[in-house]
Structure formats: structure tokens, C-alpha cells
Amino acid sequence: MSKSYDVIIVGGGMVGGALACGLGKAGINTLVLDAVSPVMDWPPKDYELRVSAITAKSQHFLEAIGAWSGISKRRLSPFREMHVWDAQGKGEIHFDSAEVGAPTLGNIIENLAIQQSLIDQFEQYDCVEYRHPLRIKALHLETDHAELETSEGETLSARLLAGADGARSWLRSQFDIETIGWSYHQKGLVCVVSTEQGHHETAWQRFLPTGPLAFLPLADGRCSIVWSTTEEEANRLLGLNETDFLNELNEALHESPMGKVIGCGKRAAFPLRLQHSTRYIDHRLALVGDAAHTIHPLAGQGVNLGFADAEELTTLLSTAKLDGIKDLGNKVLLRQYERARKGENLGMMGVMDGFKRLFSNDQAALSGLRNFGLGLTNKAGPVKNLIMRKAMGLDRASV
């Protein structure tokens, strides 16, 4: 058995799903496949542990491809302000969406709500087929197409393969594309917590020498935390009973207008690394999302960069289709895609890695410098606005 498509997307997570909707809207014959079947029950018993801060730019893209209404019907939590402060000194910076004339700085959304809304949207497009669980056994490359052999012996062919299969991408490894990067030897511990005074629709982040501790506001008044710390420390914190965990969390948060943390749900931790593919493209291949790049979660940019990849590829392929180009996997298009995304992603990764290093350092000179810098930036309106617009994905200028 064999079947042909214009594009096969390997990986139906948030980024692969968004790309499928974008291509579906453009009438491009697309197969999206995933090794794992998605969870489609909604609502879950409680907030999902995995949430993402979604920028205004990503929201516009998700609206354009029809997935936003499904997300807002499920659950989203807008945040209007962000407060960042340094545990070693008095440096702090406060961002308020009103300062850039925007209603919010972004929304905290459960990853599952995004993925399910994208999958629902596939139904709207006759040209999108979604298959799961489906395992790919082998890849064969021909001049004018690529073939995937499934574990059931079926052959699926396409002009273009999009690798959206995450940080440990199987497809990337089949093309021998190397990655550069390093482990931060940290884990991000996530958990939903309640506080005495609520979150004031503000995202709070305290930089500790071991890593940032973020409180992301949820619509029911609780917060989803991401506590980035050393691997040993994260494992130890996972093993504590609730009372001891809350004591340590309160010590790490120190003082804030949220008051004390008074309750927490189940905990999980994810390894953190910086990873960048040396190439985003190859013969009949484009990598998107975490398959191309992973980044420290401290500024909540990872999946937003992935959505920007999906948007760029959608725009290029739909324009090519309108221009009557039949081969949507041709080299010219792929080079345009890589040129548009690689520099942009590298720039953001560099800035975030710099922040991570600057703040995870307890040398007195560096601590003084960053406290001075935070204070200065907080008072310098135009610089602060530029940072805010960049973080919201509304400005391509580098910070």
C-alpha cells in the first residue's frame, strides 16, 4: 500500500499541529502523524502540569489558523503584568501591558488545551489527514520526493517532510543533522500552587543563584510554578512531603505580594537544555519547533519560537501554492525558510542563555552589575518597552 501527499508532518504536538492547520487552511494536501495517540478528554481533573506562556504573536497565528476559539473555550489565563527580581540584591523590573497599549502581556495555557484545539481544527480541512499511533520504520529519499515506511509495511510519500517530532527528533537523526548545545544540568520542577493573596494577574519570577523560580497566574487564582534548579536539588524537592516542600518553596520565594504559598498539587520535573540544529533543512526536509531548537524556559519562549517556524513555513508554502508551484519541497523554498528562522531563533536563544548565565552567578561584581542594570532598565521607558514588545513577539528588532 502507498499514499502520496504534498507534506508529511512527523509529530502532531503543538508545533506540528499548528503547521498542519496552517497548511490545511491553504488547501495543501497534508498528513500529520504521531507515534502516540493524544489525550482528548476535557476537562482534565485539575490544571495540567505542562503549561506555556503564549505571546500575542502566537495568539494571532493561532487565531488565523482557527485554533484560538477552541483554546478559549477550554481554558486560558491572561496576565497583564510581570515582575522579575533578583534574590541577591535590590534589582527588580516590572512590566505592565498598559505601557505598550496592549490588553495583556500574554496568556498562560495548558499545552493539552492547545494540542486538542489544533486536533479539533484538523476536521475543518478535507486536505488534512491525522494518523496515530503510527510508527515510522525507515526513510528513503528520491530526487523528487521522500518516502516513509511504516511499521505496518505501508509506504507514505511526500514532496516535503516536516520534522516536528520534538527535541530528540528521529527524523533529524535520519538525516544525520547534528545539534550544538549543552545541558544546563538543571531540571524545571512544575506544580500548581495556591497562595494567600492570589497572583494579581501577574507573572512573578525570582532569580536565585541556582536558577529562576517562576509563578505563572492561572484563571482560578492559583499559579503554575516552574522552579529551575540543579538536577540533584530538583530530585530532592520532588521527594519531599507537601509540608516540607511548601516550606522550601516559601523560603525560595521569600517575600511577595502573593503572600505565602499554602497548597500544592502533584509535582514533576523536566531536564533543561539548550540545543540548536546545525541545519534546519535537508533534501526534502524542514525541521520546526523543538526538533530544530530547545531553549531554557525562563522567558517562556520555546513553543512561541516553534509557532513562528510553523507560521513562516505556512506562509512560504501557501504563497508557493498560489503561485502555481507544484513541488512544495523544492530547495529554493527550503532555503528561504531556513534563512528566515535560523537567525531569529539563534538571537533569542543567545539572549536567554545570557540571562540564564548572568543571573545564575553569585559573584559580587556580577550581582552588582545586574542589579544596577535591572534598576536602570526599569526606569528607561523606551528600552523597557522594546524588551516587552520583543518578549510578546511583536518586534523583530533584537534586544
Asked whether position 166 contacts ligand FAD by CB under 6 A, the answer is: yes
C-alpha dist (Å) from residue 308 to 93, 200, 257, 385: 27, 29, 34, 21
Mask: binding to ligand FAD, 223-242, rule CB under 6 A, as x and -?
---x----------------
Asked whether position 14 contacts ligand FAD by CB under 6 A, the answer is: yes
Spatial CA neighbour of 215 closest among 240, 242, 196:
196
Count CB-CB contacts under 10 A for residue 232. Answer: 10
Stretch that binds ligand FAD, among 4-12, 91-99, 204-212, 342-350 (CB under 6 A): 4-12
Count CB-CB contacts under 10 A for residue 137. Answer: 11
Asked whether position 34 contacts ligand FAD by CB under 6 A, the answer is: yes
Nearer to ligand FAD, 27 or 38 (CB): 38
Residues numbered 379 to 398 that lie near ligand FAD (CB under 6 A) are: none
Mask: binding to ligand FAD, 127-146, rule CB under 6 A, as x and -?
---------x----------
Q: Residue 305 has which C-alpha cell?
A: 519560537
Asked whether position 170 contacts ligand FAD by CB under 6 A, the answer is: yes
Query: Residues 36, 262, 364, 376: which binds ligand FAD (CB under 6 A)?
Result: 36
Nearer to ligand FAD, 79 or 85 (CB): 79
In the complex, the smallest distance separating the C-beta of residue 250 from ligand FAD, rounded to whole angstroms, is: 21
Asked whether position 12 contacts ligand FAD by CB under 6 A, the answer is: yes
What does DSSP say about strands 223-230 and 285-287: parallel, antiparallel, or unpaired? unpaired
Asked whether position 306 contacts ligand FAD by CB under 6 A, the answer is: yes
**Which residue is it, cell 488545551?**
113
Q: H-helix or E-strand containing 129?
A: strand 128-131
**Which residue is it, cell 500544592?**
264
Q: Residue 2 has which C-alpha cell?
A: 502507498
Strand partners, 92: 85
Stretch that binds ligand FAD, among 118-126, 273-281, 296-304, 323-331 (CB under 6 A): 296-304
In the complex, the smallest distance separating the C-beta of residue 268 from ligand FAD, rounded to whole angstroms, is: 9
Count CB-CB contacts under 10 A for residue 46. Answer: 11
Query: Residues 5, 6, 8, 13: which binds ligand FAD (CB under 6 A)?
Result: 13
Stretch that binds ligand FAD, among 5-13, 62-70, 149-157, 232-240 (CB under 6 A): 5-13
Query: Residues 84, 128, 146, 164: which binds ligand FAD (CB under 6 A)?
Result: 164
Nearer to ligand FAD, 166 or 329 (CB): 166
Which residues, other chains included, contact 78 with Cβ-Cβ below 8 Å and sequence gap of 6+? 103, 104, 106, 107, 201
Pairs from 339-346 (Cβ < 8 Å, separation ≥ 24): 340/312, 340/316, 341/280, 341/292, 341/308, 341/309, 341/312, 342/280, 344/305, 344/308, 344/396, 345/276, 345/292, 345/293, 345/305, 345/309, 346/276
Q: Which residues bind ligand FAD (CB under 6 A)?
A: 10-16, 33-36, 52-53, 136, 164-166, 170, 188, 190, 226, 270, 289-290, 297, 300-304, 306
